[in-house]
Amino acid sequence: MTTSLRKGHHYGIVLIATAAGTVPLVRVRFTGAARPAEREADLGPVGSPVVRVLVIEDDAGLAPVVVRGLREAGFAVDLAGDLAEADLKLAVNAYDCMVADRSLPDGDALTLVAALRRAGSRLPVLLLTALDAVADRVAGFEHGADDYLVKPFAFAELNARVRALCRRDQPARLPELRVGDLELDFPRRRVRRAGVLLTLTAKEFAVLEVLMLRAGEVVTRSELIERCWDEHTEPLSNVVDVLIGQLRRRLGPPELIETVRGAGYRLADPADRP
C-alpha cells in the first residue's frame, strides 16, 4: 500500500478494529436521536467545529452501525471500504479522526498507522478489536496505538474514549470569542447574545464558530461545507443557506451575518460596518 499524506492536513484519532477467525458481534447501544444540547456535548475537542471522521470498514453489517453511532454523537463521517480508498480520501480531505477495521481486503490497517507515524503524524490511535491477548496489544502499541478497546463494547465507552483522546492531543484554544454583543463560550459550548443564553444545534454552533473565528472576513460556502459537513454534502446544495437562515433567526436583530453576494458570508459587529 502506498500512503500519500498531504502536508498541512490535520490527522486526529485512528480507531482500528481487528478481525481474526470468528469475531464476536459488537454490542452497541443507541438511545435514539440526541437532543440539540446532548449533540453539542458529544462534539469532539473543545473549541473545534464538528469533528470529521473517516471510517475504514468493509463489513457490511458493522460499517453502518459505527457510522450511524458516530453521526448521532455529532461527528461528520466519511466511509471507505478498503485501504486504497482510505488513502485517496486522506490525500484530498482533512480528517480529525479515523475509524478503521484492521483486516481489510487490501491489507492490514496497522501499515497505515505506521505510515502516519513515519510521516510525523501525532494522531492518537485507539485499537478497537476482538483480539485481547497480550501479544496483540503489544503489536498494536508498537505500531503507534495509544489506547485499546476490546469487543464487544458499549458505544458510550467508545465515544468517551474518542473524546478523551481528542482532548489529550488538543492544543490550547481561546476559551471565548466575542463579536459585538455575541459571545461564544468554548468550554461550556454556550452562546449568548446581549447576555441572553441561546439554544443552538451542534451544526449551528459549528458554523457560528467558524464565522466568529474569521470575524470580519468573507467565508465561502465551500469552506463552511468542508469544515462543518461530511464529504457527501453536495457543494452546490443550499444546506449552508438554509442553516445560515436558521442561525440568523436564532441570533435575532440587529443582524450580525452579512451575505456577500457571489462570495459567501461575513460575521461582523454592525457598529464596525461602513
Q: What is the pLDDT of residues 124-180, one digit of tens each?
A: 777 777 778 888 778 777 887 777 777 777 888 878 877 777 676 655 455 678 899
β-bridge partners, 265: 219, 259
**CA 189 from centroid of its chain's CA atoms:** 16
- Do 88 and 200 fall into the same domain? no
Please state whether the peptide bond connecting residue 270 to the residue before it is cis, i.e. omega within 30 degrees of 0.
Answer: no
**Mean of pLDDT values over 215-238:** 78
Residues 62 and 144 in one domain: yes
Contact 100, 17 (CB under 8 A): yes
Whether the Cβ atoms of residue 256 and residue 180 lie closer than 8 Å to each other: yes
pLDDT in tens, 41-71: 333 433 345 677 778 888 898 788 888 887 8
Give the highest mean pLDDT range of 43-52, 112-121, 247-256: 247-256
| Residue where one domain finishes, among candidates 136, 169, 202 | 169
Question: What does pLDDT average to over the chain?
Answer: 73
Q: What own/partner pairs with CB < 8 Å and gap ≥ 24 does 239-242 have?
A: 240/207
101 forms beta bridges with: 17
Asked whether residue 37 falls in the same domain as residue 54, the answer is yes
Reference 44, options 186, 222, 145, 233; nearest CA is 186
Q: What range does the domain containing 41 cover?
A: 13-169
Does residue 151 sit in the same domain as residue 236? no
User: Per the confidence metrics, is the pTM higher than 0.75?
Assistant: no
Which of 120, 148, 169 is a domain's end point? 169
The CATH code of the domain that includes 154 is 3.40.50.2300
Separation in Å, CA 206 to CA 13, 26, 189, 209, 211: 19, 31, 10, 5, 9
